[in-house]
Amino acid sequence: MKGEVSYDSAAEAEVEVMESDLPAGEAPEGVAPDGMGCHAPAEQMEAQARASGNGAVLDQFAKDYPQGPHDRPESMCPAFGSLRVGLRMRRVATVLSGSACCVYGLTFVSHFYGARRSVGYVPFNSETLVTGKLFEDIREGVEQMADPERYDAIVVTNLCVPTASGVPLRLLPKEINGVRIIGIDVPGFGIPTHAEAKDVLAGAMLNYARQEVAAGPVPAPKSGRTDRPSVTLLGEMFPADPMMIGAMLAPMGLAAGPVVPTREWREMYAALDCGAVAAIHPFYSAAVREFEAAGRPIVGSAPVGVDGTHDWLAAIGDAMGVAPAQVAAAQNAFIPAIKDALAANPINGRITLSGYEGSELIVARLLIESGADVAYVGTACAASRWSQADREWLEARGVVVKFRASLADDLAAADGLDPDLVIGTTPVVQHAKQKGTPSLYFTNLISARPLMGPAGAGSLGEVINAAIAGKERMDKMRDFFEGVGEGDTAGIWEGSPNLRPDFRAAHQKKLDKAERAAKAQEMI
């Protein structure tokens, strides 16, 4: 190109071009094109998945992770959640089956968040997808990887396109050379959030481990078995929280068991070998189903703040058959310390809170007991019986609680409730900062802190108060950048930007027409 500036010799590299005698868009003889792509509408992909024999899988997803009132919350690809669970486990390999663009994005994000191992990938094209060759390629791949010296398990994950096309991972061998093979479907059109995708893999692993336990003796955890009845903790937490929970359980003669999702396979057996399960994060429906099948009682909420700790310890004691005197001893040992920590780190200000981790309600409880005026709590996860106590506690104090909250819900709360601080996801935080409102990213700055017991009671005050105190600085920044433009007019222009509102109006008419046609089709 004339006038093009080159900075290296990359443009000189030879590019191999695959040529075909077939006209564009045609499949080889005898092969019917699938008509699917990762860009296809969710309704179309779901219909294709049901036609391909995956209706039962989607029905279970709908039961475990109910959607609505809108289609689904805005979230990253849900497969990121199950991918992270697998990548955090020792001696577990992860293989993805999906469109190359999706696999690239997922591996990029997983390494951005600290993955220290490779992600396997089985590529495909239209021919291997619709002829069943992709399944054979996946099987061949796991057979090559199944080295018991390196792995306890291999997790194979179908992304949207293979799920829609009915690639039957359930037909993979259950084990190869002593290595467990676990196949799961994690389609974006069936699972609303990446948090709930963590449950898909956790539930599949617990199901496998439960069947192993039923079949005979299994290896003990490397850390050994506790001599006290244990409470399994359900949901990813800050590393200090399980230790604090263990300290609060000790006066009751109990111990904190493994945290599910676990970090190694043997912990699955220890998690199942418990007296009760604490659903710290209440959206793990598939995992709860496995624990209930094993006969383990489930306890909701968490030991946060004064009320939360008092009620949670009582509920655990009731589920485990602990004498009331021992429960009272645990409560008396820690609740005064929690009161002192809350009093030493008061929070003064109105806060709106939203996120997609599943711990939003218990964080709101802790903020309220710290003195904050929490006006709104939005979570991308669905309501469940394990979050009911937290919801009732919050609503009794005038808090608006929104399950399956959309971005529009969170932004409306940030705009309409005049908060001193907005805690939320990246787009919510960005929106608040543009308005000059102090804001904090929930995942990195709030949920990545201790929340339980005395340690959690004083952990949020400093960061929350520092953010609220930055209001004056935010106002100065907003005033400094006033007039530089926003949206289409952002930046420095020598002249006025060519906005072409006529193009926008024409495009909007096309969108409106397509929406009316879709509604008319629904009525037929």
pLDDT of residue 18: 40
* Measured CA angle at 21 (ends 20, 27), to 5 deg: 75
pTM for the model: 0.83
Query: What is the side-by-side order of every strand in the sheet holding 439-441?
Result: 400-403, 373-379, 350-355, 421-424, 439-441
- Exposure string of 194-210, with b = 16+ CB inside 10 Å and e = fewer, is bbbbbbbbbbbbbbbbb
Which of 247, 245, 250, 268 has its CA nearest to residue 258?
Answer: 268
pLDDT of residue 497: 72
pLDDT of residue 128: 87
Beta-ladder partners of 427: none
* Stretches in the chain below the pLDDT threshold 70: 1-40, 68-74, 483-488, 522-524
Show the DSSP H helices in 192-284 as ranges. Answer: 194-215, 240-249, 266-272
Contact 195/164 with Cβ under 8 angstroms?
no
Residue 147 Cα distances to 219, 220, 308, angstroms = 19, 21, 46
CB neighbourhood size of 518 (10 A): 11
Contact 365/202 with Cβ under 8 angstroms?
no
Q: Which amino acid is at 401?
A: V
How far apart CA 37 and CA 62 sit, in angstroms, is 22
DSSP letter string, 450-488: --SHHHHHTTSHHHHHHHHHTHHHHHHHHHHTTTS--GG
pLDDT of residue 285: 94
pLDDT of residue 402: 94
C-alpha R_g of the chain: 26
Element (H, E) at 426: helix 426-434
φ/ψ region of 216 (left if φ > 0, alpha if ψ in -120 to 50, else beta) reads left
E strand intervals along 24-143:
92-97, 120-121
- Rounded to whole angstroms, the maximal C-alpha distance in the chain is 85
Look up residue 50 and give its two tokens: 């049901």
How far apart CA 346 and CA 414 sit, in angstroms, is 22
Look up residue 244 and give its two tokens: 């604090």
